[in-house]
């Protein structure tokens, strides 16, 4: 569902960032889930409000587009899992480990053979910026 409607997801992220600023440090969008490492402005710590806004905006866009979505007994759409995993980055090594995990996730799930082959990944920004080579693989 996510990759089939990637333009709507990107737009939801843009709108959410405009309303509640954050920086996307690394991201990968897989067919049924997202991994993202985001940084909030100094002094802010409300990740939940940003994810709630992204999910809401995306869901609204899909409904407007006519994508059939099923609602549960609480009137919530079963598009998203109710919770997300939040982790505060401890240091540069922890940051690099999480970025690597995110970039390698499509390979881990068997969707592609190389991170560079997955189109819905912030990995390509890292290559364009000269931070990682196109043929990057994580060190084990």
Q: What is the pLDDT of residue 81?
A: 75
For residue 17, pLDDT over 70 is answered with: yes
Query: Tens of pLDDT along 54-105?
Result: 999 999 999 999 999 988 888 778 788 777 788 889 999 999 999 999 999 9
Question: Quick one: pLDDT at residue 87?
Answer: 87
Distance from C-alpha of 50 to C-alpha of 40, rounded to nearest angstrom: 10
pLDDT of residue 30: 96
Exposure of 115 by Cβ count < 10 A (0-12 exposed, 13-18 middle, 19+ buried)? buried
Report the top-level CATH class of 3-128: alpha beta
Please tell me the pTM assigned to this model.
0.91
Q: Where are the alpha helices (DSSP H) in the chain?
A: 6-19, 47-65, 92-108, 123-128
How far is Cα 26 from Cα 24, in angstroms, rounded to an integer?
Answer: 6
**pLDDT, mean over the chain:** 93
CB-count exposure of residue 55 (10 Å: 0-12, 13-18, 19+): buried
Q: Where are the domains of the chain?
A: 3-128
Predicted pLDDT of residue 140: 66
Question: Mean per-residue pLDDT for 97-124?
Answer: 97
Q: If residue 36 lies in a helix (H) or strand (E), which one and from where to where?
A: strand 34-39
Least confident of 33-37, 41-45, 71-75, 102-106: 71-75
Confidence at residue 62, expressed as pLDDT on a 0 to 100 scale? 96
pLDDT beyond 80 at 22: yes
| For residues 6-17, average pLDDT | 97
Average pLDDT over residues 45-54: 93
Q: How far is CA 58 from CA 13, 38, 51, 77, 101, in A?
A: 8, 18, 11, 11, 25
């Amino acid at each position: 569902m996510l990759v089939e409607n990637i333009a709507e997801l990107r737009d939801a992220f843009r709108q959410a960032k405009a309303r509640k600023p954050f920086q996307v440090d690394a991201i990968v969008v897989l067919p049924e889930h997202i991994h993202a490492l985001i940084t909030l402005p100094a002094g802010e710590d409300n990740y939940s409000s940003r994810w709630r806004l992204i999910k809401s905006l995306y869901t609204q866009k899909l409904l407007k587009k006519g994508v059939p979505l099923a609602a549960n007994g609480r009137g919530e759409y079963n598009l998203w899992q109710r919770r997300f995993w939040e982790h505060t980055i401890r240091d540069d090594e922890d940051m690099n480990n999480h970025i690597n995990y995110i970039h390698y996730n499509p390979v881990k799930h068997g969707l592609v053979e190389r991170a560079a082959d997955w189109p819905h990944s912030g990995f390509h920004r890292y290559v364009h910026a000269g931070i990682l080579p196109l043929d990057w693989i994580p060190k084990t």
